[in-house]
A and B are shown apart, each in its own frame.
Chain A
Amino acid sequence: MDTYIYAFLFCGFVCMVSQLILDNTKLTPGHVTSLFVVIGAALDLAGIYDKIVLYCGAGAIIPITSFGHLLIHGAMDIANENGVIGLALGIFNLTSAGISVAVVSAFILALLFKPKH
């Protein structure tokens, strides 16, 4: 049950911080999502983000910070076995599902639907 509360708090907190940045600066959503991906990648250091996922469950998997974390996590897993070349080999290991499904569904839907304005 605790996981629900932590998921609520963490996901809400990340969204609120980004809303505060959007409201108080001239940055666009594109800037903020890029910033959060970089923050997520930085938080993989020493397994910090893994601990957050352990406590917050899906609340930490859903925000875009998790995308950066998964990118560097997959890369570092392979890099620890094979050296620096592992960064290039493993970078999409964990995020390939998300990217490929997003591309395919966007493509199919673009064929089926017309844009609404």
Chain B
Amino acid sequence: MKDRYNEIVMKHTPKEDVIKNALLVFLYGGILGAFSEFLLRCYVMWFNLPRKEAGVAVILTLIIIASILTALGVFDVCVSKLKSALIIPITGFAHSMTSAALEYRKEGLVLGIGANIFKLAGTVILYGIVSVYVFGIIRILIIGG
């Protein structure tokens, strides 16, 4: 009985959706990557920045755009369509912070915004820092830098 049930479930689970999703996300993510390269070149040209600093300027631009779109409520609509293409780039990081800040605003400035702003973004920072210490100490001890 259970085998038969599983069989039916397997038959009706959409398979192509996963592949179609992945290809769409590839396309959208790629467009975002190419657009930010275009933006980087514009910053290099307009402000005479070196490429490294222009890269930081691109990151800041995307963070501010994503935060404003989140506050306007547009970003959530976009995420439901573009999925990972907006979560994996730095826009997802900015979105998680702004949405947490907006969500907990009503609980006060300190206990609401202050206590919850890193609620979702904290995991990225936590595992980033811990992995840096682990990899860093290993690299210093074994290959010396």
Contact = CB atoms under 8 A, between A and B. Distances in A.
Interface residues on A, range: 35 or more
B98 A10 contact: no
Mostly, the B contact residues are helix
Interface in A32-85: 32-34, 36-38, 41-42, 44-45, 53, 56-59, 61-64, 66-68, 71-72, 75-76, 79-80, 83-84
Interface string B125-136: 111110111011
Contacts, number: 242
Mostly, the A contact residues are helix
B140 interface: yes
Interface residues of B, number: 72
A103 B125 CA distance: 13
Given A23-B18, A101-B60, A15 B135 contact: no
A13 B127 CA distance: 22
A28 to B, nearest CB: 10
16 contacts: A5-B34, A15-B30, A32-B87, A44-B135, A57-B37, A58-B33, A58-B39, A62-B33, A63-B88, A64-B124, A67-B90, A91-B129, A98-B60, A101-B64, A102-B63, A105-B67
Interface of B: 18, 21-23, 25-34, 36-40, 51, 55-56, 58-60, 62-64, 67-68, 70-73, 83-85, 87-90, 92-94, 97-103, 105, 113, 117, 120-121, 123-129, 131-133, 135-137, 139-140, 145
Interface of A: 3-5, 7-16, 18-20, 22-24, 29-30, 32-34, 36-38, 41-42, 44-45, 53, 56-59, 61-64, 66-68, 71-72, 75-76, 79-80, 83-84, 87, 91, 97-99, 101-103, 105-107, 109-116
Closest 10 CB pairs of A and B: A11-B33, A15-B29, A12-B30, A59-B33, A116-B73, A110-B101, A8-B30, A58-B36, A19-B84, A16-B26
